[in-house]
Each structure stands twice: as structure tokens, then as C-alpha cells.
Amino acid sequence: MKRTLFILTSTVLIMSLMLACKDRIETRQNADQAELENLYLEIEKLAKQFTCENASEWKYTAIGAKACGGAAGYIAYSIKIDESSFLKKVEQYTKLQADFNKKYGVFSDCALVIQPKSVTCDNGKPKFTY
């Protein structure tokens, strides 16, 4: 009887510890995901602060990291912004996303994201041409 009680108590304790650990990992993952999303929104805000009226004043860069390699996408930005600071934020985001992918074992579709040929302006917004 004592042995059965000991085994039952031990099992419950181990399961409780495993669930608590899983909850902490999920909480950390959610916090890391929120950090990535906030940084992306900041980058997007910087990129979209000017209206696209002249395509020659716009560039693009790769952003993000797919789990199996390569860029997650591309983002257009005006050359009127502080380009050096902007590209550093994009680089930071890309590194954080690559680290996130490794840390949490993220999977992706592994499809190649096609690099745009140029940026055009359409109703004040930058659009990629392929």
C-alpha cells in the first residue's frame, strides 16, 4: 500500500513539474514572438513613413529568416530615411528570427522567396516588380 501511494505521489509530482516547465517554455516563446512582432512593426513603420511618389527614391532589402534558410521576405523602404539605422534594425530582426527558429525548433515551408527586380509606386505605396 505504501509503495503504491509512493509511486502515485511520485508520478503526480513528476507530471506537475513537466507541465510547469512546459508552461514556462510556452510563456518564454510567446514573449520572444511578441518581441519579434514589435520589432517588425517598428521596421514596417520606418519603411512606410513616406509616400511612394518616385520609384527611384525606393529600395528593398531581404528581411527575416526562414527556418530552413533564406529570407522570409522583402521590404521596400524610402531612401529618405536613415538607411544605415534602418538596415541595422532589419539585420537585428533577421538574426532574432533565425535564433527564434533554432531555439524553438520552428519549421517552415522551405519555398524560396523570389527577390524583386525593382520597386514601383502604386497609389502612393511601394510595389515590387518581378
pLDDT value of residue 108 = 87
* Cα–Cα nearest to 119, from 71, 86, 75, 68: 75
Contacts for 94 with CB less than 8 Å, ≥ 6 apart = 62, 63, 64, 65, 71
Cα 66 to chain center, whole Å?
A: 9
Cα 110 to chain center, whole Å?
A: 15
Could you give the residue ranges of the DSSP H alpha helices within the chain? 2-47, 83-104
pLDDT at 109 over 70: yes
Where does residue 59 rank: exposed (0-12), middle (13-18), buried (19+ CB within 10 A)? middle
Average pLDDT over residues 72-77: 98
Where does residue 126 rank: exposed (0-12), middle (13-18), buried (19+ CB within 10 A)? buried
pLDDT over 90, % of the chain: 76
CB 79 within 8 A of CB 59: yes
pLDDT value of residue 22 = 52
CB 127 within 8 A of CB 121: yes
Residue 119 is placed in which grid cell? 520597386
Residue type, 108: S
pLDDT at 62 over 70: yes
Average pLDDT over residues 3-7: 59
Predicted TM-score (pTM) of this structure: 0.79
